[in-house]
Amino acid sequence: MSQIIWLASYPKSGNTWLRLLLRALRDDADTPELMGAINESTIASNREVFERVTGLVSSELLRDEAAQMRPAVYRQLAMASEQTLMMKVHDRFDSPAVGAADFPVEVTQAVVYLTRDPRDVCVSFAHHLGLSVDQTLARMRKESLYLDSGAEPLAEQLPQWLGRWDRHVSSWLDNSSLVKPILVRYESLLSDPLATLTALIPQLGLSATVERIRSAIERCQFDRLAAVERKQGFAERPDPAIPFFRSGNAGGWTKTLTPDQAQTICREFGPMMRRLEYDPDLASESYQ
């Protein structure tokens, strides 16, 4: 039996980029090949994988029925794999349908939780969904929010319970039934990918030389990923007209959010922002 490294995050927090970097470290492949290999099958909520493992038609199941079967699917995937799996997860940790975690500890090698300033998350998520900032912010504040093919452009995936941004974060960081999550800030990965990956890799039970890490970073630069996406597309792109890889920067919210929007995010999520070292006071200072 192999094990699974869970790469968990709220949507648009850099999960796919981290997954590409880790895959580049493992595989000696160029950028187009890496992007072709990173597809829906490496997402924990993938509908096709669920149906292949269970032999069921997921659309015939109630949302909670499918959720209750997902831990067994992960066990089967781990049993069938010859190498460690890296699974992207947007689900909140504590599924209301399962009554516990969706992620079985016996097949878990490590858990990474990737965070990003919620102000930047809001802007990027709005682009991803093709919605306004206000519509997206309303979703990020909604406790009952699901990413659901009936309401969002994610038909290839099973429904995923997100809930509020801050409670999504705490559900993973404060869980008591899985291994302790490794917290990675998107901003750190962006500003110093070499140092961030060098510290992360041994915690995942992996190894890589400095030269291999540098090579992975080079192959996964945003301009290269965006160029490949324009040429050949990308499986996780929600809409052909909406690019998946845009700028990938940090602090871009100051050019997009209105003062009221920024202050609403900070008012709603201030305690968790401070815990993660995202200064909510910047909401007002950035516009002075």
What number is the average pLDDT over the span 50-65?
A: 91
252 phi/psi in degrees, rounded to 5: -65, -15
Angle, CA 172 vertex, CA 171 and CA 176 arms, to 5°: 85
What are the tens digits of pLDDT across the range 186-200?
Answer: 999 999 999 999 999
pLDDT of 97 higher than 80: no
Which residue, chain included where needed, has tokens 């015939």? Answer: 60
Residue 41 lies in a domain: yes
pLDDT of 26 higher than 70: yes
What are the tens digits of pLDDT across the range 98-157?
Answer: 766 678 989 999 999 999 999 999 999 998 888 999 999 999 999 989 887 444 444 688
Q: Give me the pLDDT at residue 152, please.
A: 43
Residue 185 lies in a domain: yes
What share of the chain has pLDDT > 90, as a percent? 51
CATH number at residue 159: 3.40.50.300
Q: Outline where DSSP puts E strands in the chain.
A: 4-9, 85-89, 94-95, 100-101, 108-115, 146-147, 160-161, 182-185
Contact 71, 104 (CB under 8 A): yes
What are the tens digits of pLDDT across the range 259-279?
Answer: 999 999 999 999 999 999 998
If one compares 117 and 178, the residue with the highest pLDDT of the two is 117
Q: Give me the pLDDT at residue 179, please.
A: 82
Domain coverage including residue 152? 4-117+144-241
The tally of domains found in the chain comes to 1
Residue 19 lies in a domain: yes
Residue 133 lies in a domain: no
Residue 237 lies in a domain: yes
Residue 196 lies in a domain: yes
If one compares 236 and 182, the residue with the highest pLDDT of the two is 182
Q: Give me the pLDDT at residue 226, please.
A: 73
pLDDT of 11 higher than 70: yes
Residue 265 lies in a domain: no
Contact 23, 34 (CB under 8 A): yes
Contact 89, 7 (CB under 8 A): yes
Q: Give me the pLDDT at residue 201, please.
A: 94
Average pLDDT of the chain?
84
Q: pLDDT band at 177, cuts 50/70/90?
A: confident
Give the type of residue at 200: L
Q: Give me the pLDDT at residue 141, please.
A: 96
Contact 11, 128 (CB under 8 A): yes
The rounded distance, in Å, linking the Cα atoms of 256 and 272 is 22
What number is the average pLDDT over the span 40-51?
A: 84
What share of the chain has pLDDT > 70, as a percent? 82
Residue 129 lies in a domain: no
